[in-house]
Structure 1
């Protein structure tokens, strides 16, 4: 859809979703205007998307009957490890930078993230409710500088990695990629086959199979940016191994909700066999795992950087076939404590 044919916010959202799905990418749309104007854009977008939408920061009564969920910004960290197809973050209710960074990492491939902000030229003067968290006595609320918001506004204006819709009628659409299957250095000339979505994910799945079939005491560490399919790769590989006859696989993660993506993708691969094989795929919290040390043919550790290093070391010592997957930066922890002992332990 060209810029000339877009007449509503709903059509714009659908256009960006179409491009995101085509290339398996994620799209960011910034809507800059006053609160009432931004609200109008949301009321148009949500029904047009016809999918579940996560709204952050403020409820919209007009969308009560829609397939949407509303959470406060402070709840965003609890969403790590999950996936969302559509996210709308309302900065008029306060721009919690940590919350925005965390929730943006849960956007799945083909998804759209909409950021609602005040007019770009006035955002730095906005009395953001989040500034109260930065206030230190004897500072007054009005003393908090908006220099960060000024800098962010400048970046949004200049960036070609997002789409921008302004209340004055301005519209800039992110340019589409020319090659949806662009190779990265080291990629082999091979076709991506389902259920994997990328070559790197296929390599990860093969690596997990190799951990199970190869020499003992050769753990695998999967690291990548958030949202690149690590948890999905664990789920795909686990399901494939169960279908091949593996008797016991354990998955551990900081919480059961963190492993939702893993179980979703494992269930898709298992299909009708899920009921008969699910008992052979067990989730055990990290603390319980190192206390009981149950026997398993393969241990999978998701979001490993969020698990204390001593627990990771105990797992590595006890289990001979183990796969760790995690980002090594951001909201799971710094990740440096995750890397170093594993390098030492794996020789």
Structure 2
């Protein structure tokens, strides 16, 4: 029976160029056996099937739920997702995106009525101390089950004790026959094959490249890619999954290589760029010509030959891993970055060394949920030397436009969640907005409320993903609050309760155990060696987002004020941890938060150093802030010339200005002679760098005396970070090294006035009195 259901689903999916889902609900072992029967009935090669499971030993390609990102950028005829033991929402998003038109997604689940009440290993990850797994709810799966039972294209089979006891609850057939599919490659909207069409007038790429495009969208993207032949060009191609962006990038890479260009391709892994290389190879019409062994036919990584294609004109298309590609980007003629949103911002920045560069990124779906590209990197690209061209692909290629599985996944995982449209909120006034709790039950009952709130989080942050939807609905330590204007969500905050941990847990954390969900207590305890830091109770702002149409209108500050008022009597401190930028440091300082830590390495996703800030509410909170502010001040005195030597000077200024621990100034007479001499006499900075450092730290923390921005940056770059004079002068725009030196002396004149002792003042008078 299951084989028949699977065959019928597959046949209809192929006719309509759509996808289908088969849910096998019941015992896990029976589900695995049934999945084998279903896949065998499809008549597909085992090599086109992936099994996502915590178990091993299947004859298909295998990956674990936590490693399901291996499916990014790939196409499979069938994917089997084992939802028993560890059901990871991210893995579901990846699995759906990998299924090709005419293909089947098979879900192995517990009985659907029981599933929301079952707790598995993913739920255990939501049970952060002091909460237990019994505190985790099943709202996310309850909602998911409802979508499985309601959406078209999804078959549900309730597994019995034997095959004879299986029952088909839904056959998943929609009646589609493909006759109305205008989005199939051979349909009326298709661009046509090579024999039907030539290149556009004035095209620089060969006609064969345009002939290989399957939609007008792809042809437009290819035309934009032509600009990569010229230095200083950047192309950004955005699309949902299945729109052919990777194929267009591959055709462009092949065309450039055919003209003799060296094209560097990178992606999270080679398998993610396989489509790029397949299309480039098809266009070039030759075999790869690289050194090394041939790849195993079943390899997803590719051997040396698969990773490089050479052309008779001396061009080539070659793949390098992201970190390597970022180091050598300047040596290529052009770089193509596929699945750009899945790469850390710091690596994307390195790829800007290429003479010309293209970024292909998915705007919805799992890859699009890694928002580092859209939220952080896009601004940097627009501020760069490149002339940027944007292309958006909307026409599906891998499956039809009305594919029911795409609609189901978008709703179930909120992959298309968006804030309210601008027109609906543009006239909102901050004083008229209503503060409200976003209770998970209310969110589940109101799809519009859920979509707008989650959409704000997705649009404003580089790390919102399907797992976060499950956390929002089920995690016991998370709370959500919002401002609502005329019924629309205009600002939202996701909050996490932290701390309040018992002595045994604190001791384990101090000795190296990881305690989930307590980010700030963990940093203060395990990294900064404060065993008592996890005792006070805190509330951390995990995310805060304001509708982009209302930025800088005070909604974020108003929302924080409301949160502070609601929870002030219920905890010891508020906290936040985030990728530090000058703007955000100012925002949080104005909200009453103070710096206690700056990470010693960059965040891979944002490319920024993370700041931790506290706002105390009780004596315990103030004591926590005081001791860590002092420790932060003392660390930075030396750390800025070591681990923080490359931190942006404006980030350093903002972090220090928000530190409440005043820096002591206790210089010897010898040190004062050096400082005074360098500021108003013939002295030199190099004779007492430590004294200059103490004074710079005090001035930047106190904000006194009032130095201008360039003078403060000079104190950071030269005095605190110890950069060479030549580099500092060039970066800060001084006409010469000597001018930079004189400027440093001038900056210390008011510093000496502010912090100088009686001895220092007398020393100064020796050079300033007439």
Say whether the 8 Å CA contact 1:92–1:116 is kept in structure 2. Answer: yes
Pair 1:54-2:43 in alignment: no
Give the counterpart of 2:381 among 334, 337, 342. Answer: 342
What are the ranges of 5 or more consecutive residues in structure 1 without an aligned counterpart? 1-7
Asked whether 1:204 is paired with 2:240, we answer no
Q: Contact 2:183–2:189 (CA<8 Å) still a contact in 1?
A: no
CA-CA distance at 1:119 after TM superposition: 2.1
Distance 1:266 1:15 in 2: 36
CA contact (8 A) 2:12 2:173 kept: no
Question: For residue 134 of structure 1, what is the aligned residue in structure 2?
Answer: 126
1:33-182 to 2 correspondences below 5 Å:
33-49=26-42, 50-52=44-46, 53-57=49-53, 59=55, 66=59, 68-167=60-159, 168-175=167-174, 176=176, 178-182=179-183
TM-aligned CA distance change 1:273 to 1:77, over 3 Å: closer
TM-score (norm 2): 0.39
In the TM superposition, 1:221-236 aligns within 5 A as 221-236=236-251
Distance 1:179 1:132, change over 3 A: same
- Residues 158-307 of structure 1: pairs in structure 2 closer than 5 A: 158-167=150-159, 168-175=167-174, 176=176, 178-182=179-183, 191-193=191-193, 195-208=212-225, 210-212=226-228, 217-243=232-258, 245-275=259-289, 278-279=309-310, 280-307=316-343
Give the RMSD, CA atoms, in angstroms.
3.1
2:154/2:170 contact within 8 Å kept: no
Larger Rg: 2
Contact 1:211 1:323 in 2 (8 A): no
Aligned length: 329
Equivalence for 1:321: 356
TM-score (norm 1): 0.81
**Distance change in 2, residues 1:42/1:326 (3 Å):** same
Taking the aligned partners of 2:183 and 2:50, their CA distance within structure 1 comes to 30
1:221 Cα shift?
Answer: 0.8
Distance, in Å, in 2 between the alignment partners of 1:23 and 1:178 is 7
1:135-164 Cα offsets, whole Å, 9 max, x none, are 223433334222221121112112125333
Cα deviation per residue 1:90-126 (whole Å; 9 max; x = unaligned)? 1123211122223322223332211121222221122
- 2:704 corresponds to which residue? none
2: CA distance, partners of 1:105 / 1:70: 16
Q: Name the CA distance, whole Å, in 1 between partners of 2:266 and 2:10.
A: 33
Whole-angstrom CA distance in 2 between matches of 1:284 and 1:20: 36
* Offset at residue 305 of structure 1 (A): 1.9
Unmatched 5+ residue regions in structure 2? 160-166, 194-210, 291-307, 311-315, 389-770
- 3-state DSSP class of the match of 2:232? coil
SS at match of 1:200: helix
Alpha-carbon spacing, 1:24–1:201, altered in 2? closer, same or farther (3 Å) = farther
**Stretches of 4+ aligned residues off by more than 4 angstroms:** 58-61
| Cα deviation 1:291-327 (Å, max 9, x = unaligned) | 33444333211122233335434544x4443221011
Relative to structure 1, the CA distance from residue 342 to residue 59 in structure 2 (aligned partners, 3 Å threshold; closer, same or farther) is same
Q: Are the equivalent residues in 2 in contact too, given 1:236–1:265 (CA < 8 A)? A: yes
- Distance in structure 1 (CA, Å) of the matches to 2:383 and 2:152: 42
- SS of residue paired to 2:84: helix
State which drifts further: 127-136 or 159-168: 159-168
Distance 1:319 1:28, change over 3 A: same
